[in-house]
Homo-oligomer: A and B are copies of this chain.
């Protein structure tokens, strides 16, 4: 076996910190496609999504099939906008919340692109953007599609109870968004670029309540964001926006506190959360949105548009995921969480 000491002599050229890499030729997000459900379409960002479905079945025989159709629709919308075909894609990086990633697998079957299945729960969008940028900057691909989705009906019945049971949700619970997003990353082309990726460690602070995932995920967001700032030498104000994925109301407040107590920094002036942006305050969705489609749809439809329009020059997307299962919850385990972050710049 080789000795570690010998190997450490040759550092990886693109690493700028223990959890962070910086791209030499930052890949561009040249096109995106987003599809959301009716409630998401009525929210404040509704006009920005490419497609809003009339109902949550979209003509399919099951909600699972509906979720797949939404992801495929998002994928083809992105391809059409880029003037590309599935044959142009070198890889699809795709993940979702459903057991065994059936949304991603059936969608990858339909789209017909070589696929790496990812699992990062609601952090999948940033996991895919980071990994995808590595495949492009590393010279392994010209085009990579990053795709993820979630569906309120499929996720709620898998993780908690079918909505039809009428289970009364706690006010601090988040609503799994019905949303799908696909983005095409390219080695060349126009669009906001993925310049830096900070990959998360799994974090667990002893939260067991599966209705309180925002609180469970806030420490993961703090860990990755503080590490990112340390690795890059940047300050919060170097970003026009730090957008977490799906912490919602209570997780968002916790993250502001954690930034102060653990990092000695004030994130609040630049911090927002995709789970707070998707729905309006009148929509009765508890603490806000969650679901892997949430951060994807909000980032791809709203944040990237604001970057193209010149409102933001530099955004840190820090998507968070709760990695528990109903089985681990029923066995009394804590909720492990993660946050992956990518810096987007124009």
Given contacts A8-B142, A105-B323, A139-B13, contact A2 B328 (CB under 8 A): no
14 CB < 8 A contacts A-B: A1-B189, A7-B186, A7-B188, A13-B139, A15-B140, A98-B327, A100-B325, A106-B328, A108-B201, A112-B201, A116-B131, A135-B138, A138-B138, A158-B327
Cβ of A268 within 8 Å of any chain B Cβ, yes or no, is no
Given contacts A99-B326, A138-B137, contact A90 B31 (CB under 8 A): no
Q: Is A30 in contact with B14, judged by CB distance below 8 angstroms?
A: no
Q: Is A188 in contact with B323, judged by CB distance below 8 angstroms?
A: no
Residue of B nearest to A134 (CB): B140
Query: Which A residues fall within an 8 A CB radius of B?
Result: 1-4, 6-8, 10-15, 18-19, 21, 28, 30-31, 62, 64-65, 81-84, 87-88, 90-91, 95, 98-102, 104-106, 108-109, 112-121, 127, 131, 134-143, 158, 186-191, 199-204, 323-328, 331, 333, 336, 338
The distance from the CB of A195 to the nearest CB of chain B, in whole angstroms, is 14
Q: Is A12 in contact with B136, judged by CB distance below 8 angstroms?
A: yes
> Which chain B positions have C-beta within 8 A of A14?
138-140
Most buried by B among A65, A121, A338: A338
Given contacts A134-B140, A142-B8, contact A336 B106 (CB under 8 A): yes
Q: Is A142 in contact with B11, judged by CB distance below 8 angstroms?
A: yes
The distance from the CB of A337 to the nearest CB of chain B, in whole angstroms, is 9
Q: Is B114 in contact with A199, judged by CB distance below 8 angstroms?
A: yes
Q: B30, B95, B138, B201: which contacts A1 (Cβ < 8 A)? A: B30
Given contacts A1-B190, A31-B1, A328-B64, contact A323 B88 (CB under 8 A): no
Q: Is B84 in contact with A4, judged by CB distance below 8 angstroms?
A: yes
Given contacts A100-B119, A121-B100, A187-B10, contact A108 B327 (CB under 8 A): no
